[in-house]
Chain A
Amino acid sequence: MTADRNFRRSPLHDLRDRLATLSGAITVTETPFLAQINVRASTPPSSHPGDVNVLALGPDEFLVVGPPGAEDRLLAEYRAPGVSVVDVSAQRTALDLSGPAVRELLAFGCSIDLHPRVFAIGDCAQTVLAHTPVVVQRRESGFRILVRASFAAHLAAWILDVSPELTSGH
């Protein structure tokens, strides 16, 4: 597409080593450079099996998240009359959180109920986590936090700051 990927540097490149020191109660890894396509359509785009997720951001707004490099394929796939498709991949990076204390961690900075009873696998929500606007997605392995690139370092620093206080999962 545009940039030469060999020279791309993820927003959390410099914090990767520190995030890797977390283990046990919580595991945090950055999944950078995901293909993200914003789709404005009156009907939800067909959901995809496999490695592509369709997240509902609003009544007529959807975020299609796919593997790195899939931008062109997804743009072509979802382009249709009356539908707006925009590549917003550079806007956000993804933090994948897992571990027994993951909900406790999120509860430190996010007020919505993320219990599996009301926030099932595949569900997503746009909310505020540690004063940072995020998209939270529940996945089988835990939670994926999509955060704006410029806020990612703040959020990662907050996670590193809060994680010693976790009580569950030890």
Chain B
Amino acid sequence: MMLIPCPWCGPRDESEFHYGGQAGVAYPADPAALSDEEWARYLFFRDNPKGPFRERWSHSAGCRRWFNLVRDTVTNEVLG
């Protein structure tokens, strides 16, 4: 079980959280102008690094706020 530092509630068990995938995926400025491939790339393609990964988490059993976290995908160490 990971201990995840919620910016509002402090460190809590991983089971209180909801995972939101990669952080910083911007919504396309003009979605209608995208080709199907570009749209699919926006919807489904995500980085899968071995190492530090910036991702979204929601403290769903606590303050219910979303926040960003950098986690090392090899060690599960929270880097900030």
The secondary structure that dominates the B interface is loop
Q: Name 23 A/B residue pairs within 8 A (Cβ), A-sorted.
A: A57-B63, A58-B8, A58-B63, A58-B64, A58-B65, A59-B63, A59-B65, A61-B63, A111-B12, A111-B13, A112-B12, A125-B9, A126-B9, A126-B61, A126-B62, A126-B63, A127-B9, A127-B12, A127-B61, A128-B13, A128-B15, A128-B61, A133-B61
Instruction: Please name all residues of chain B whose beta carbon is closer than 8 Å to the beta carbon of A127 when the two chains form the complex.
Output: 9, 12, 16, 61-62
Interface extent on A, as a size class?
10 to 19
Given A111-B13, A127-B16, A128-B16, answer yes or no on A59-B62 (Cβ-Cβ < 8 Å).
Answer: no
84-137 of chain A: CB within 8 A of chain B = 111-112, 125-128, 133
B residues near A (Cβ < 8 Å) are: 8-9, 12-13, 15-16, 61-65
Chain A residues with CB under 8 Å of B9's CB are 125-127
